[in-house]
Amino acid sequence: MNVSQKIISLRGELREHNYNYYVLDQPTISDYEFDMKLKELQDLEKAHPEFHDPTSPTLRVGGTITKTFDTIVHEHRMYSLDNSYSKEDLQDWEKRIQRILGDVPVAFVCELKYDGASISLTYEEGKLLRAVTRGDGFQGDDVTTNVKTIKSIPLQLKGDFPPKFDIRGEIILTLEGFAQMNQERIENGEEPYMNPRNTASGSLKLQDSTLVAKRPLDCLLYSVVGATGIQTQFEMLEKAREWGFKVPTVAKLCKSTDEVLQFVEYWDVHRHDLPYETDGVVVKVNGLQQQDELGNTAKSPRWAMAYKFKAEQTSTVLREITYQVGRTGAITPVANLEPVLLAGTTVKRASLHNADQIAKLDVRVGDTVFVEKGGEIIPKIIAVDFTKRNPDSRPTEYITHCPECGTALIRKEGEAQHFCPNDTGCPPQITGRIQHFISRKAMDIEGLGSETVELLFKEGLIANYADLYTLTEAQVIPLERMAEKSAENLVKGIEASKAIPFERVLFALGIRYVGETVAKKLARSFKNIDALMQATEEALIRVDEIGGRIAESVVQFFAVESNRELVERLKHHGLQFSLSEEQLSNQSDKLQGQTFVVSGVFATLSRNELKKLIEDNGGKVASSVSSKTSYLIAGENMGPSKRTKAEGLGVPIVSEQTFLQMLTE
């Protein structure tokens, strides 16, 4: 056997032993034998660098230093999940599914919800190409070098894998591994880590991959994305196991929500027997075609729901109530608590939401309160222990003036929160709007963070987001913690943001109620900022899914002279305030006022491509057939009840080809 053959043979052996040990938990050789084989391979690769292989098992020991983690746009967006907390929530979800699919048989797959750091792994020709964190769902950080050190993640797949696909999962720390890490830290006189989830997430951003390799990280996978030919979620899990991924075997195929609830009830008790943390069950529609037909909302897939286990509770003392001012002027009361350990983290603060909530709970400073982590993330006060209340305590009086600028607060009829109306002179409102403007989903200005915005405002260099485009390196360099290179990157990042498309610039302006989805709809409908600024409430309401509240907010925003001046300044600096030529060339008003339902599998275009064509030509896409539906576009395997309902209502049923002809006429 020559050197090349020996290296290939050793790599194959080590991959198989790695899989047996870290995925199957069934080692076939001792740790010593494994280490000897790994050492032999390292020596051979060092002596013969011409046989370098990026998937070699030797790369798992780390050694690469990463100073900055590149931002990567996800080819397929990573959505978050809607939560449910009761049987009724699940049943309501099932009814919504049936309304869209048309009362067809639906099976569900139940999987445990792993409590870790979300990751997307891209494989090409069976090799790990890239590992990217979830980030904001649209883009995340490239952490490939660190992820390669995790032994349960295959660098080279086996079996009949597709040419290219993404697989999603969670990077976790087992409870045993976490305890071992903390024991070592305590012995070294260091502070122990607080919980496995945050420690796993932080591990992915360590600059030295050698340190990552020393941590007992694991990876549990649950979703394959891309063209795979797989028909169901359950088959997807089985295939992923065959390709070499660590996919927990606890997943169950259920025929009804009653079976789903049996799964939930079992694991709510037995989750404490697992080697890792879990905070609920994820329920998914099993058929991938049905998943595709159900689609997604702006934030979450309609075909999946997280059923959260009952949140942990504890009690502590309320020390003080303070008030925060948001970028819109909304006032949020905050409970400052005696620090208490809850669900693995130390809780010091909790939201009290608004004046009505304070009055409803009758919560007072000095009270012993019960605190719960809502959805295991945001702490909230759920009740007061009145048996421990001081008899001399006085009811909480909500503030009447802004804690930052002293302006008298207002509360509009029908709204829960108080507001500070001093939007041009209240510091947290000013900096909050600028921080929103530079955020990742808006202008995504590299080199500029929230703290730097606060500093620039404090030093008098900016008073609004238009001022950012007048900053120079010479102005920025003298600032605290700002080196020459940092100043250069900040100014470059601001300049680069001028290429951000119109819909994101519109979102960045910070108009109340205008989120990402609404901004896209307004941009598509009005084409440029001038048309939008002149639009009446009536014209705005005619846009799909734009209601009176949004319309009123948009009109009010552009009625303010200072806001119009800001837009003019941003125009002058070269920001994008109209759709691009390419976007305009693909759009028309041919389908204006018409509503379409798209159902089934199509020969020429995907369902999402059809939906985009409808919207690009002024039409509206609905999820279920109703009397307002103009056309049902029917593909193969469409649910029979949808056809029956359309026929009963007299809704025309057209094929994909007929629809495409409508666009060319």
Handedness of CA 568, 569, 570, 573 (dihedral sign): positive
Catalytic residue among 6, 46, 87, 113: 113
Around Cβ 1, how many Cβ atoms within 10 Å?
Answer: 8
How would you classify the pairing of strands 631-634 and 653-654? parallel
Helix (H) or strand (E) holding 303: none
Continuous segment of H or E residues that includes residue 565: helix 561-572
CA distance 641 to 500: 44
SS3 251: coil
Whether 113 sits among the annotated catalytic residues: the reply is: yes
- Dihedral sign of CA atoms 112, 115, 116, 120 in order: positive
Residue 85, burial from CB neighbour count under 10 angstroms (0-12, 13-18, 19+): middle
> Who's near 521: CB < 8 A, 6+ residues apart?
543, 544, 545, 546
> What sign does the dihedral 323-326-329-331 (CA atoms) show?
negative
Give the angle 647-652-656 at the CA atoms, nearest 5°. 120
d(CA 63, CA 42): 13
Please state the three-class secondary structure of 306-367 as a single string.
Answer: EEECCCCEEEEEEEEEEEEECCCCEEEEEEEEEEEEECCEEEEEEECCCHHHHHHHCCCCCC
Nearest to 477 by CA among 455, 494, 497: 455
Closest CA to 114 of 276, 312, 300, 263: 276
* Catalytic residue IDs: 113
